[in-house]
Amino acid sequence: MNPIMRLADKIGSLGALVSAMGCAMCFPAIASLGAAIGLGFLSRWEGLFVNTLLPAFAWLALVINALGWFSHRQWHRSALGMLGPTILLLSLYPWFQYGWSSYATYTGIGLMLALSVWDLVSPANRRCGPDGCELPAKHG
């Protein structure tokens, strides 16, 4: 996978987490974690984080993971990578009116971070070419 795309995926995940840490009213659990590590000053820009940066970072992670399929041709890895940002975006817009939307937000951010760590530990490698997948030779 292209190093720029791998970096953009990490930026999207980390940016979404930091943006959520800046919104104590919307995401108190993540904001308290942010305050504990010294990011409490971000609460001044709560509107910017929730309305602009959090969705922007989620869209970045979603697009980069969708484009990742063209690099590594692993549909399950791309689908898992797109699941977190999709849940996060759904929790910010159509599901925001429900009380359980904050749990969906935490789930989306958690998935994004977990899959970013998985990508650091076990990077995706191309499994198939543009013309199809080669099957291993049968022995026996």
Per-residue pLDDT band for 127 (boundaries 50, 70, 90) equals low
pLDDT of residue 45: 83
Q: In this structure, what DSSP letter does residue 44 have? A: G
- The stretch 113-136 carries a mean pLDDT of 68
Sequence-distant (6+) residues with CB within 8 A of 19 are: 49, 50, 53, 54, 57
Return mean pLDDT, the chain: 78
Ranges of each domain in the chain: 3-121
Minimum mean pLDDT range among 53-62, 94-103, 106-115, 130-139 = 130-139
Residues composing the chain: 140
Pick from 10, 18, 64, 58: which is nearest to 41 by CA? Answer: 18
Q: Is the pLDDT of residue 37 over 90?
A: no
Q: What is the pTM for the complete model shown?
A: 0.69
The one-character DSSP state at 115 is H
> In this structure, are residues 30 and 38 in contact, taking their beta carbons and an 8 Å threshold?
no
Whether the CB-CB separation of 65 and 78 falls below 8 Å is answered with: yes
> 109, 89 in Cβ contact below 8 A?
no
